[in-house]
Amino acid sequence: MKKVLASALVLTFVGWMSARTTYTAPQTWTGIISDSMCNGDHGGEVDEKECTEKCMKNGDKLVLVTDFGKKVWQISNQNFPGLSERGGATVKVTGELKGDAITISKVDKP
């Protein structure tokens, strides 16, 4: 009886761990690279690239803004090559969504 109970507990634990492990396929988003201070809203009278660069120098993080400013995605790998140079630009980003942040694997023009 103890062996059956132990086996059942092991199988339950393995099933629970499998359910917790999620493997996500890469996804693609199109949006604007902005900063976490402005979240895509730079006031309309300033250059978006210059504003993003200024905010980055002040310590703000890069974000991806989609759905015409309705959704702001955090970017987990801030040091992705070429990302910081695309501030204020519309891009097509490929990556994995982990929690509430995108881990970028590729950045292209839309």
Q: What is the pLDDT along the chain (110 residues), one digit of tens a residue?
A: 555 545 555 556 555 554 554 567 899 999 999 999 999 998 887 899 999 999 999 999 999 999 988 999 999 999 999 999 999 999 999 999 999 899 999 999 98
Q: Which domain holds residue 89?
A: 25-108
Instruction: Write out the chain in H/E/C secondary structure.
Output: CHHHHHHHHHHHHHHHHHHHCCCCCCEEEEEEEEECCCCCCCCCCCCHHHHHHHHHHCCCCEEEEEHHHCEEEEECCCCCCCCHHHCCCEEEEEEEEECCEEEEEEEECC
Classify residue 66: in a domain, yes or no: yes
Looking at the structure of the chain, the number of domains it has is 1
Residue 80 is part of a domain; what is its CATH number? 2.40.50
- Structural domain includes residue 2: no
Can you read off the two tokens belonging to residue 49? 């690239």
Cα(106)–Cα(71) distance, integer angstroms:
20
Q: Confirm whether 43 is domain-assigned.
A: yes
Q: Is residue 3 part of a domain?
A: no
